[in-house]
Amino acid sequence: MPRAEKAGLSKTGDGLGKGALPGEKAQAPTLVVVESPAKARSIQKMLGPGYEVRASLGHVADLPERELGVDVGRDFAPTYEIKKDKKSVVEELKRAAKGKRLLIATDPDREGEAIGWHVARLLGRDPREPLRVEFHEITPKVVRQAVQNPRPIDQNLVDAQQARRVLDRLVGYNLSPLLSLEFRKRALSAGRVQSVALRLLVEREEEIEAFRPEEYWTLEGVFALDQDRALSASLLEVEGRRLWAGQGEKEGKLHLAREAQAKALAEEARGRPFRVVQVETRERRKSPPPPFTTSTLQQAASSRLGYTASRTMRIAQRLYEGVDLPEGTVGLITYMRTDSVRVSPEALQAAREVVRMLFGPEYLPESPRVYRNRKEGVQDAHEAIRPTDVRRTPDGVRKYLSEEEYRLYDLIWRRFVASQMRDALYHQTVVLLKDEGEKPRFTFRASGSVLLFEGYLKAWGRGDEGGSLGDKGPQGGMAQEGQEAEGETPLPPVAEGTKAELLEVKTQQHFTEPPPRYTDATLVKTMEELGIGRPSTYAPTLETLEKRGYVVRKGRTLSPTPLGRQVTHYLKERFPQVVAYEFTARMEDRLDQVEEGKAPWPKVVWEFYEPFLGELSQVPKKTCPRCGRPLELKVSRYGQFLGCTGYPECTYTEPLERKKEAEPIGEACPKCGRPLVRKEGRYGSFIACSGYPQCDYTRDDGQPTGHACPKCGGRVLEKRSRRGKPYYKCENNACDFLSFYPLMDQSCPSCGWPLVKKGEGACLNPACPAHDPKLLPSPKAPTREASRSRARGSPRRKAPEVGRTGARAKGQEASPPKPPKDWEELRPFLGELAPEERQAAEALALGEPLSPEAAKLARRALFKLRMKKGRARKEAVN
């Protein structure tokens, strides 16, 4: 194997050492502002002395939280203010920028452009100056070339982002309170893209529920060609009428809806002589798919790896921002928010070299494959998603990546390499058989294919998006996967005119099936086809639908909740344009025109806002029972409530959420005999005695699984977390049996506990020698179920004693904290600490000796700083 392949790495040919960049004149130190700390660390190592790289931690300014912040009468002029959690970040950037040249290197998209515009404005710099740089990939060569060629901030991109933000605010500010008022629930929201995506899910679910399966029958014949050869074929036509296997009757087609019809035809076909009337053979080529765009990456990661769209984008962000390799910190993939399949000529040539080296010249097409977007309106601002250096094989960098990073990089690498390989070649054969006679009545068809040449399947595996990608090297065994994807077996050699004897004919019953539920992959694909949303919005949209409780996940599929259905029906009735597919897609096109400088953004916003206002004015208002004025949603320190708009003259208020009445379940309390009822608590529904507080009996509410608890004999219930994930728990609160995996009907041969669905079956009993400790929940924090039990009055269990190796023993002094290694990332948040905490943290960072009281303050300060850093990083990624 070549040396480059063994290492998985290659010399990138940057030829640039640290220090002053080639061709640069002596100049003042430069401050480079990026979005995330991880990206800042990577770029700082690449630029070296003379450059200071700081992170803005995402958006630094936005519309105000509790006000509309948009002056509709002045062309929707927005009012921006520094975000509360970013005031200290902005102050740090101001101090760092004094006397320095400023370069803004936020992400290369319209959102990054808007963040850069805010940073320039807050630091007192003119956005028309050349201070904006873009890193489409984070490698030393590209980063150093980019900082030498800054440009002014693109106002068209900023305006496009402003238009989207203003539209989202106008919709959210007006619709979200309206939904909370209508459904008397907190934290409801509506959006231009999210509400349309929810409509897709709801309408698909209703289509599934309305579907009525229909029975149909097919015939399968087995023909003897000679003594050694047999051929299976399906009935294709009867007297020229082709068999129809779809829903309902179809004109001109034969639909076998009853078993009697199928058996009558089978009986009629038996005993007839048949002959091969046609043998058609042809070569079929299958071309490789293009490199990934954002949507196709999310689709493939969902289908092949089981990742959600949000998880895929978080992993891709890390691969883009930089990974520590022996040669230095480098981004492994290009920018991951793109709708283009374009690839640079240099990357194409490098891919061809890798194909020749790893797979051989026979897999290399004569000329590079150049892909073009079929869909109109693609921005083509970035390349497709590809490895920054395709010579870095997945196995070569695996030890520097987490498992999920490796799997996603492997997927991206394989897709890019496969896109520059030759077609897969199949030999396909179709055989038609007819009964002999003056007027042939039956026509049977058999087809088969043989994979002659793997082509791109050698790297990509399956030719479709489904299935699992084998964890094999580029040389290993993908031909079988490609052949299986065709679903056809080879046919025996046969010549036209060959006589065939019908040995057997079978009737087979089938039922039509409803359309499948959406997954992340299919929903993103449908949104892209309809023109709803853009690459940067797919993942956040799906994540918002889950957070709001509009959608739950069942395995990989997405199902709308009752609340999601109610919200969709309400919006379709009251705001039909907000959830209209065509209207939403047209608005996306208009917003793209703003980005291209072809339309002024206030005009585009008005095109949406004017009809929206008309629909909003038709919604009946909820009125105050005292004075008749409209009620509105208000917020206090205790949460949301309904209040009269006539305040202070009228002080009427009422709670937003009405308490749900207890619902009898038809069972008697095992403790006192009174009826049991279903109640709603802080953590969801539970079963309790109607005689409370005289009787304190409670148990969990959930769907019985039919399994008995192996600890106490109670029923095991299937419950769902707030995020919709299923788990399995004993109904008795005094029992701590809990499983995150479904229980199987099989029992453990060693201990008798029911096995759980983990692999081929795993034992959950910690006392069993076959037990896997990873199956138990982490003991670091009390579960929500334990908190719920305590809230209902269940006795608190005594915590187990911890030895000296697991925790500080009583009376033992805590070891002094060590100076934090991530201090530079924590410094921007110091302004949000109390003065004494900030002083203790700074002393710790300088290595000064601390008293026990100061050490305690320093620990508390570090915990707060890391929490704030984590929240800011999550916001920057999303």
Question: Of 94, 86, 91, 98, which is closest to residue 35 (Cα–Cα)?
Answer: 86
Question: Of 306, 365, 350, 302, which is closest to residue 137 (Cα–Cα)?
Answer: 350
Question: Of 687, 716, 718, which is closest to residue 701 (Cα–Cα)?
Answer: 687
* Helical ranges in 575-690 per DSSP H: 581-595, 601-617
Give the up-direction half-sphere exposure of residue 821: CA atoms within 13 A in the CB hemisphere: 1
Question: Of 840, 813, 10, which is closest to residue 388 (Cα–Cα)?
Answer: 10
Alpha carbon dihedral 156, 157, 158, 164, in 10-degree steps, equals: 110
Would you call 335 a catalytic residue per the annotation?
A: yes
Write out the two tokens for 434: 């007819």
* C-beta separation of 413 from 394 below 8 A: yes
Burial of 116 (0-12, 13-18, 19+ CB in 10 A): buried
Write out the two tokens for 836: 């004494």
467: left (phi over 0), alpha (psi -120 to 50) or beta: left
Distance CA 451, CA 449 (A): 7
Distance CA 33, CA 112 (A): 11
Distance CA 691, CA 704 (A): 24
* Helical ranges in 101-258 per DSSP H: 110-122, 140-147, 155-183, 194-210
Helices 403-418 and 309-321 sit at what angle, rounded to 10 degrees?
Answer: 80
Start-to-end CA span in the chain (Å): 41
Write out the two tokens for 193: 């893209």
Q: Is the peptide bond before 648 cis (omega within 30 degrees of 0)?
A: yes
- Which among 335, 456, 538, 697 is annotated as catalytic? 335
Angle at 146 between CA 141 and CA 147, to 5 degrees: 110
3-state class percentages of the chain: helix first, strand second, coil last, to nearest 5: 35, 20, 45
Distance CA 539, CA 541 (A): 5
Count of CB atoms within 10 A of residue 208's CB? 14
528-561 per-residue burial string, b: 16 or more CB within 10 A, e: under 16 = bebbbbbbbbbbbbbbbbbebbbbbbeebebbbb
State phi, psi for 632 to the nearest 5 degrees. Answer: -135, 160
What one-letter code names the amino acid at 322? Answer: G
* C-beta separation of 185 from 657 below 8 A: yes
Q: Is the sign of the CA dihedral 837, 839, 844, 845 positive or negative?
A: positive
Distance CA 277, CA 567 (A): 59
DSSP string, 233-271: EEEEEETTEEB--SSS--TTSB---SHHHHHHHHHHHTT
* C-beta separation of 495 from 279 below 8 A: yes
State phi, psi for 495 to the nearest 5 degrees. Answer: -115, 150
Cα of 544 vs its chain's centroid, Å: 11
Which residue is associated with the tokens 């490895």?
A: 387
Question: Of 115, 334, 312, 158, which is closest to residue 872 (Cα–Cα)?
Answer: 115
Catalytic residue ranges: 335
